[in-house]
Structure 1
């Protein structure tokens, strides 16, 4: 059977699909991930087959159009508004940009089943065009159905142009977010598995230390502005009884000499490294939140654009971490992160909850059956 996975062309949107793509591949199915730009690079590095459906696309340029036409809702989203109007407009433009290449791939490759993330309903369009079932993979913490609806509400003209009118709902949903974090959702539960980050742990992190280690990670989304979060952590760290490791620091954070307890590193295999650290401070991206939770590691989440503010609130509400604006990070914040037993206990509880969810391999058979049922009905 041929299974097509479709994601928007950003690292954080592609990687949640990779474990399920690997599971289908390992079960003997033919798999292709349709995406572009840095998302395509991420999928290649993860070792799954990729088709670039929009060569040369630059997400920032695609999103610039909606920003110029609809500045108010999109700027609200950038400011941390957790509504879906802005994101719907932005990713409707991205869907239109990816549509040509995705439809061409679907027509040529003829998949039997299409799985896609909530902000890539171009996958659902391709499935409908080929008259095969689609599955929504809800793995971005923010409710995947709300994201899907926010984008598809702007796609009527595109759907008609592609001969898909009306656009049918996905045949099924996979939910990779633990209920205690974000509530019960409709769909098949699936264990969150970090798509990358498995590898050797650097010796300096593997060996025992006299002080707890805190990782600090910024977004994988390119941003020319200085990372205030990292700079603020550096300022606070000198007075904190912790060792801080800055992962891929920006220039502003390391412009001046660092305190003795602060070091830097390039990319790290997070899934392997997390069990060796006492806490994580990060930008609030879904992948980092979930990787820390799966490892049972407390986290400080800095609220930010759109869903990052929601992520910070959810982690804090669950008790598995703290929601702290970058300007409010202090030495006390870092020390509480690694010493508060309630944070550690809640993080371990969520890790156990995630581990108890079905592995991606367990979903292959029931999802593949959708295609078989669809062929039988046809």
Structure 2
């Protein structure tokens, strides 16, 4: 038996795959603790996973609400990212994880423990690797987490680097002066997406183990309420902007307008009432939450924000998807789904009701989309994906992590050189993002 310490933060797409991974590790006889938000504690405990939370549900809700304008603010000034971390106690969360995990590691032994953390945010894990020699795996939830590494190497010194180095000093660690090597220093990198999704865009770096989408069917299953069942004939469109509030202010308005123009009834799922238009048109029904694993196979199409978990769930359900993508990993996820032939997408710079409606009508009326997505649906297999990830993680047991290269970086590999080597797929996605940045759409 190995002790696995898992760490993640964020919303459903960031946390539910880690809950499923924890469930699989427990099923293989390991001792598992998940460090995440109290909001997800009950879900994790039902999966047999012990939980340690650095926050309360109320603190989590405040953080989610505070994130609504974060994209716009950070584009304007990187200092807003540091302010966001401080306002919401996120540096304290890193300290909490480091301290609590260190107690476990010291009580056992570094070669009896494996730390598994979400890519980019798992900073406590990398520090524990340095200070206590524990092996560390970083888990990527979407390809852009690797694509953005060159950018993160520049962002950290200008924003989060100072506070992170202050934390390191408190743990007796020297400051990071070269962020590239340190941010790549995990002993194992896992990407939770399949080969076909990887081929549809810039591929993952060499050495990243692709294990497939990891859905949490238990957390997303359940009986549909009677009032929802009554709305499934004719098949409606599902509208969901995800579980968080890091969303373009026009998102729900555009999605609703597209459904109205197509003449399709719609089920709008959003627990944040303030994001939804005050007066929904006839035929559009809002619910705070619904079990997507149960619901999605009954809808005609899914209009969503581009989160990788929602994208994968639509494929697993055999349903075409229209992605209104803005920010973070969403444009890249959307572009990959379009290249795979299972959906369409629009960047925010091209959002207008007629265009969105034309794409939605095409998805609903052209049987080719549904045929292609049904062929891909068997590739989304949570059990096989979890088993593949567990096998990789078990391979770290008994190893001792080496000191991270925190003061030496790769020579001669500057940001400009990396941008010149961009994959054509990545250039296409970046072009869409730059169009937004030029101000063609108001945020």
Tell me which interval the TM-score lies in, with the shorter structure as reference length: 0.7 to 0.9
Q: What is the CA–CA distance in structure 2 between the aligned matches of 1:148 and 1:120, rounded to whole Å? A: 15
**Aligned position for 1:271:** 293
Question: Aligned in 2, Cα 1:357/1:237: closer, same or farther, shift over 3 Å?
Answer: same
Question: 1:5-16 alignment to 2 at 5 Å?
Answer: 5-16=6-17
1:175 aligns with 2:191: yes
129-138 vs 29-38, greater mean Cα deviation: 29-38
TM-score by length of 1: 0.79
Deviations 1:101-145 (A, max 9, x none): 112111222270010111222222234333111111112342347
Q: What is the CA–CA distance in structure 2 between the aligned matches of 1:266 and 1:25, rounded to whole Å? A: 31
Q: What is the CA–CA distance in structure 1 between the aligned matches of 2:32 and 2:116, rounded to whole Å? A: 11
Q: Please report how far the alpha carbon of residue 271 of structure 1 lies from its aligned counterpart in structure 2 after TM superposition.
A: 1.7
Question: 1:286-305 alignment to 2 at 5 Å?
Answer: 286-305=308-327
Q: Please report how far the alpha carbon of residue 349 of structure 1 lies from its aligned counterpart in structure 2 after TM superposition.
A: 4.0
Question: Aligned in 2, Cα 1:59/1:127: closer, same or farther, shift over 3 Å?
Answer: farther
Give the match's secondary structure for 1:371: coil
Q: What is the CA–CA distance in structure 1 between the aligned matches of 2:4 and 2:30, rounded to whole Å? A: 7
Higher relative contact order, structure no. (Cα contacts within 8 Å, ≥ 6 residues apart): 2
**Aligned position for 1:125:** 127
- Checking the alignment, whether the CA contact within 8 Å between 1:245 and 1:265 is kept in structure 2 is yes
Question: 1:334-353 alignment to 2 at 5 Å?
Answer: 334-353=360-379
- Checking the alignment, whether the CA contact within 8 Å between 1:213 and 1:242 is kept in structure 2 is yes
20-29 vs 306-315, greater mean Cα deviation: 306-315
Give the match's secondary structure for 1:360: helix
Q: What is the CA–CA distance in structure 2 between the aligned matches of 1:87 and 1:128, rounded to whole Å? A: 29
Give the match's secondary structure for 2:397: helix
Deviations 1:150-206 (A, max 9, x none): 267635564454344575711112221123323342322223232220222345666
Question: Aligned in 2, Cα 1:356/1:100: closer, same or farther, shift over 3 Å?
Answer: closer
Q: What is the CA–CA distance in structure 1 between the aligned matches of 2:95 and 2:325, rounded to whole Å? A: 35
Q: What is the CA–CA distance in structure 1 between the aligned matches of 2:130 and 2:324, rounded to whole Å? A: 39
**Aligned position for 1:235:** 257
159-168 vs 289-298, greater mean Cα deviation: 159-168
Give the match's secondary structure for 1:271: helix
- Checking the alignment, whether the CA contact within 8 Å between 2:20 and 2:47 is kept in structure 1 is no
1:109 aligns with 2:109: no
Of the three residues 203, 217, 239, the one matched with 1:216 is: 239
303-312 vs 18-27, greater mean Cα deviation: 303-312
Give the match's secondary structure for 2:313: helix
**Aligned position for 1:81:** none
- Checking the alignment, whether the CA contact within 8 Å between 1:115 and 1:123 is kept in structure 2 is yes
Q: Please report how far the alpha carbon of residue 266 of structure 1 lies from its aligned counterpart in structure 2 after TM superposition.
A: 2.8
Give the match's secondary structure for 1:50: strand
**Aligned position for 1:82:** none
**Aligned position for 1:316:** 338
Question: Aligned in 2, Cα 1:171/1:88: closer, same or farther, shift over 3 Å?
Answer: farther
Q: What is the CA–CA distance in structure 1 between the aligned matches of 2:266 and 2:66, rounded to whole Å? A: 37
- Checking the alignment, whether the CA contact within 8 Å between 2:363 and 2:369 is kept in structure 1 is yes
1:188 aligns with 2:220: no
Q: Please report how far the alpha carbon of residue 301 of structure 1 lies from its aligned counterpart in structure 2 after TM superposition.
A: 0.7
Q: What is the CA–CA distance in structure 2 between the aligned matches of 1:11 and 1:86, rounded to whole Å? A: 27
Question: Aligned in 2, Cα 1:46/1:214: closer, same or farther, shift over 3 Å?
Answer: farther
Deviations 1:58-95 (A, max 9, x none): 5479989xx8xxx9992169xxxxxxx89997898786
Question: 1:244-259 alignment to 2 at 5 Å?
Answer: 244-248=266-270, 250=273, 253=276, 255-256=278-279, 258-259=281-282
54-63 vs 315-324, greater mean Cα deviation: 54-63
What are structure 1's unaligned runs of at least 5 residues? 78-84
TM-score by length of 2: 0.69
Q: What is the CA–CA distance in structure 1 between the aligned matches of 2:80 and 2:138, rounded to whole Å? A: 17
Q: What is the CA–CA distance in structure 1 between the aligned matches of 2:147 and 2:259, rounded to whole Å? A: 40
Q: What is the CA–CA distance in structure 2 between the aligned matches of 1:314 and 1:125, rounded to whole Å? A: 34
Q: What is the CA–CA distance in structure 2 between the aligned matches of 1:114 and 1:106, rounded to whole Å? A: 9
Question: 1:9-158 alignment to 2 at 5 Å?
Answer: 9-36=10-37, 38=39, 43=44, 48-54=49-55, 56=59, 59=63, 74-75=74-75, 96-110=91-105, 112-121=113-122, 122-144=124-146, 146-147=148-149, 150=152, 154=161, 155=164, 158=167
Q: What is the CA–CA distance in structure 2 between the aligned matches of 1:209 and 1:219, rounded to whole Å? A: 21
